[in-house]
Amino acid sequence: MDEGKAIARLKKGDIAGLKTLVELFQTDAVQAAYLVTCDWSLAEDIVQTAFLRAFEKIKGFDETRPFRPWFLRMVVNDAIKVSMRQSRFVELNEDRDEEYTFALQKLAENQREPEDLLVQEELVLAMRKALFHLSPSQRAAIVMHYFLNLSTEDSANQLNCAPGTVRWRLSVARNRLRKSLDPFK
């Protein structure tokens, strides 16, 4: 069953349609939510809830539009909200600010994957640390742009903000990562 048929069946109340949509989009959704929340269990929970909301809202969904951006918008927005609630209780360490800059610069550069496995691992580790020190909104902007490969305009739609805001978020994140990446140059 393809996406269109699944949506049509779900609109008629057939949960087999929802099952198909879950199978089609759960991986992208959980991975994107994880990159925003930094918590795998939380990410799975957010995506489950998002699918339940999709089930409730599907009758108002415009079938001529693709389901993926519509659904991922809910997932990423939910992930931001949950992360922001949690971040109130986490003290940010300003000393690690440089890590942000490093990671975003690496993301912004369309370089090639290093062959050396050790270099790969170090890079991923540094990137992970840096990424997870960004604000949830900044992480969401990165996830939309670099992970889900959505355009700035699409990312803006996903995040319910103007494209300029997304560019600003990416720019801020890039600047912060650039500083922290200096030692690795």
Partner 1 sequence: MKNINHSHWILRKIVEDQSPEKTITLWPQIETRLASEGKIHPIETPIRDLKGKFSLKKAAYYTTIVLLLTVVGSLSLVPSVRAQVSDWITGQANVFSFFTPHSQVQVGLFSDGSLGFVPLSPMYLPKGDWVMVPDTYTEEVTKLKTLKLTYNKDNQFLILSEREILSDESLPIGEIIKVKNQPAVLFTGLSGEVDASIDLSDNGEVQPEPSGLVNLGPVQYSNGVWLIWQSGDIRLEILSNLTAKQVLKIANSMHPVEVLPAQMEIPEP
Q: How many CB atoms lie within 10 A of CB 53?
A: 14
* Ramachandran bin of 66, using left for φ above 0, alpha for ψ from -120 to 50, beta for the remaining angles: beta
Distance CA 60, CA 129 (A): 40
* Nearest residue to 48 via CA among 86, 19, 13, 12: 19
Output the smallest distance, CB 163 to partner 1, in A: 19
| String of contacts with partner 1 for each residue 47-76, x by CB under 8 A | xx--xx--xx--------------------
Per this entry, what is the length of the chain? 185
Candidates 91, 95, 115, 185: give the one binding partner 1 (CB under 8 A): 115
Candidates 8, 11, 31, 86: give the one binding partner 1 (CB under 8 A): 31
Candidates 7, 35, 79, 181: give the one binding partner 1 (CB under 8 A): 35
Residue identified by tokens 């739609």 is 157
- Closest to partner 1 by CB, 64 vs 142, is 142
- Closest to partner 1 by CB, 14 vs 182, is 14
Give the interface segment with partner 1, choosing from 74-82, 90-98, 111-119, 169-177 (CB under 8 A): 111-119
Output the smallest distance, CB 6 to partner 1, in A: 13
- Closest to partner 1 by CB, 64 vs 116, is 116
3-class DSSP assignment, residue 122: helix
Write the CB contacts of 88 (distance below 8 Å, at least 6 apart in sequence).
Answer: none
| Per CB under 8 A, 170 contacts partner 1 | no
Our measurement of the distance from residue 125's CA atom to the centroid of its chain's CA atoms, rounded to an integer in Å, reads: 18
* Nearest residue to 26 via CA among 80, 59, 79, 72: 72
User: Applying CB under 8 A, which residues contact partner 1?
Assistant: 12-16, 18-19, 22-23, 26-27, 30-31, 34-35, 40, 44, 47-48, 51-52, 55-56, 106-115, 120, 123-124, 127-128, 131, 142-143, 146-147, 149
